[in-house]
């Protein structure tokens, strides 16, 4: 019994010696096998480098150096997304005419998606400064509009603590009033009427605002924005749109083309640009049925479709919405003397231009933008190659689906339209 532990110890010692000698003999072969298996992996990882080469991996998780960081501008509210819209070259029109025809993409304004964002914001700010509006007090802003100003007002009203009550003609595209309702505005769609009628959409808005203010049972006051006569309208474009165009063009442009509804855009931009470029040509684009063409050409508000002083009909006899008018407004008169010429555009030309822009450039615009582009092309052809002409792309065709684009129709797979077919020459 006493000899067994010694026997076990000797046996274990001998086994250890044998195992060590055996491993020593087979280790080199194991090492060679292991190295051969690693060669393809290292070749892939090293993108073709030999296994003896060192591969340096960049650590992209390192923190950015403190000196490379800076404060990023964070804008305050949707109002801060108004303005500074892009200016771009409309390729097809530029190539066809030999001129640079540039579109100011006002449909990219961040509140209501049109140049009326600038106007709505400036009218509200001005009224606040004058003590006519107080945020979150129950004050309601009333306005008569064919749609775009109302959408901009409804959006910015909510952003700044007001309610919006919009009066608009019932013949305007229904998607505009639908959007206004989604934005929380009260919407009155009234039958089209001449300006002398108390039920004209502008007169109704004015009267409702006065009634609100006079009613002691209602919270807040009623404020009539009055976009047609409010000087804050053209001033918004004098302070914003005009300087942006001048800067984006590097101070080099030959003409500015725009339509007029209230007249604020063309007046404000003209007043700024002409102060910098006295030889600049400012040209009005006017749809059929509007009297502004004759106001510029002949100094009198008259259209062949109607006799002055006998109007008992809707505002303008055209499918185009947003521009064209048959009365003088304070905003248009603020820049009228700076307008050098006017170009009349009929509905067929506007519809054809809208289809052209979608077909050739992938630009989907509304009716007023199409009118502006027709006028820009006509001016380019009259002026000759080499001119730089800026016009306004007011809003997206999305707001004109049920009316204007229903008449325009689908472009389908068409790719062979001719510009001469649009202009009829």
pLDDT of residue 309: 45
Q: Is 141 a residue whose pLDDT tops 70?
A: yes
Core vs surface per residue 202-225: b (16+ CB within 10 A) or e = bbbbbbbbeebbeeeeeebbbbbb
Q: Mean of the pLDDT values across residues 287-305? A: 86
| Residue-wise pLDDT tens digits, 170-201 | 998 899 999 999 999 999 999 999 889 999 99
Helix extents (H) in 215-318? 232-236, 242-248, 264-276, 292-298
User: Which structure tokens are listed for 308?
Assistant: 């002055």
Is this model's pTM higher than 0.75 or not?
Answer: yes
pLDDT digits (tens, 9 = 90+) for 259-294: 999 999 999 999 999 999 999 999 999 999 999 999
Work out the pLDDT band at 155, boundaries 50, 70, 90: very high
pLDDT confidence of residue 44: 42
* 174-182 vs 148-160: helix crossing angle, rounded to 10: 0
Which one from 52, 65, 116, 403 is the annotated catalytic residue? 116
Tokens standing for residue 50: 């030999």
Which of 38-42, 228-232, 295-299, 389-393 bottoms out in mean pLDDT, i.e. has the lowest?
Answer: 38-42
Residue-wise pLDDT for 113-129, tens only, equals 999 999 999 999 999 99
pLDDT for 49: 46
Confidence band for 237, pLDDT divided at 50, 70 and 90: very high
Residue 115 and residue 109 in contact, taking contact as beta carbons nearer than 8 Å? yes
Kindly tell me if the per-residue pLDDT of 317 is higher than 60: yes
Residue 31's pLDDT is 57
* pLDDT over 80 (residue 104): yes
| pLDDT, tens digit, 9 for 90 and up, residues 45-93 | 444 444 555 656 565 555 555 555 566 789 999 999 999 999 999 999 9
Specify the higher pLDDT residue, 211 or 39: 211
Burial letters 17-44, b for 16+ CB under 10 A, else e: eeeeeeeeeeeeeeeeeeeeeeeeeeee
Tokens of 316: 């303008």
| 274 is annotated as an active-site residue | no
For a pLDDT cut of 70, what percent of the chain falls above it? 80
Please provide the average confidence, as pLDDT, over all residues in the chain: 87
pLDDT of 344 higher than 80: yes
What is 61-127 written as a DSSP string? TSPPPGGG--PPP---SGGGGSS---EEE-HHHHHHHTSEEEEEEGGG-TTTSSTHHHHHHHHHHHH
Say yes or no to pLDDT of 169 above 90. Answer: yes
Which band of pLDDT confidence, cut at 50, 70 and 90, is reported for residue 148?
A: very high
247 has pLDDT over 50: yes
Q: 3-state class of 164 per DSSP? A: strand
Residue 58 gets which letter from DSSP? P
Distances, alpha carbon 277 to alpha carbons 100, 252, 270, 384, in Å: 18, 9, 10, 20
Q: CA 285 to CA 242: how far, in whole Å?
A: 17
Ranges 58-67, 221-230, 232-241, 376-385: which has the least confidence? 58-67
Say how far apart CA 262 and CA 141 lie, in whole Å: 18
Amino acid 312: pLDDT: 40
Does the pLDDT value for residue 245 go beyond 80? yes
Q: What is the pLDDT of residue 425?
A: 61
Residue recorded with tokens 């009550």:
165
Residue 40 has pLDDT above 60, yes or no: no
């Amino acid at each position: 019994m006493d000899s067994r532990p010694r026997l076990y110890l000797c046996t274990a010692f001998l086994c250890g010696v044998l195992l060590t000698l055996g491993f020593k003999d087979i280790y080199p072969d194991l090492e060679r096998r292991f190295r051969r298996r690693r060669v393809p992996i290292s070749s892939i990882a090293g993108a073709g480098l030999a296994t003896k080469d060192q591969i340096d991996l960049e650590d992209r998780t390192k923190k950015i150096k403190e000196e490379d960081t800076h404060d990023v501008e964070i804008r305050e509210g949707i109002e801060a997304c108004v303005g500074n819209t892009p200016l771009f070259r409309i390729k097809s029109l530029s190539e066809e005419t030999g001129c640079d025809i540039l579109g100011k993409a006002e449909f990219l304004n961040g509140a209501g998606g049109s140049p009326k964002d600038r106007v709505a914001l400036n009218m509200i700010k001005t009224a606040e400064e004058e003590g006519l509006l107080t945020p979150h007090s129950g004050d309601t802003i009333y306005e008569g509009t064919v749609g775009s100003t109302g959408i901009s007002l409804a959006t910015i009203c909510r952003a700044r603590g007001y309610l919006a009550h919009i009066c608009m003609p019932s013949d305007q595209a229904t998607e505009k009033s639908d959007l206004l309702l989604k934005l929380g505005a009260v919407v009155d769609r009234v039958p089209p009427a001449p300006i002398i009628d108390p039920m004209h959409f502008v007169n109704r808005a004015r009267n409702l605002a006065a009634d609100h203010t006079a009613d002691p049972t209602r919270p807040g006051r009623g404020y009539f924005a009055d976009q047609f006569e409010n000087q804050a309208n053209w001033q918004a474009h004098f302070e914003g749109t005009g300087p942006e165009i001048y800067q984006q063009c590097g101070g080099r442009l030959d003409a500015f083309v725009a339509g007029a509804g209230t007249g604020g855009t063309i007046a404000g931009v003209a007043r700024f640009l002409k102060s910098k470029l006295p030889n600049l040509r400012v040209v009005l684009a006017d749809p059929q049925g509007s009297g502004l063409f004759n106001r510029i050409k002949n100094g009198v508000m008259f259209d062949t479709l109607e006799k002055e002083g006998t109007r008992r009909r809707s505002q303008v006899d055209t499918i185009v919405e947003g521009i064209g008018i048959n009365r003088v407004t304070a905003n248009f008169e603020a820049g009228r003397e700076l307008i050098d010429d006017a170009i009349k555009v009929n509905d067929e030309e506007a519809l054809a231009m809208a289809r052209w822009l979608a077909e050739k450039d992938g630009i989907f615009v509304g009716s007023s933008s199409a009118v502006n582009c027709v006028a820009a092309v006509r001016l380019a052809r009259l002026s000759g190659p080499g001119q730089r002409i800026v016009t306004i792309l007011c809003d997206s065709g999305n707001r004109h689906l049920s009316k204007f684009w229903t008449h325009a129709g689908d472009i389908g797979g068409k790719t062979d339209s001719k510009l001469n077919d649009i202009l009829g020459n």
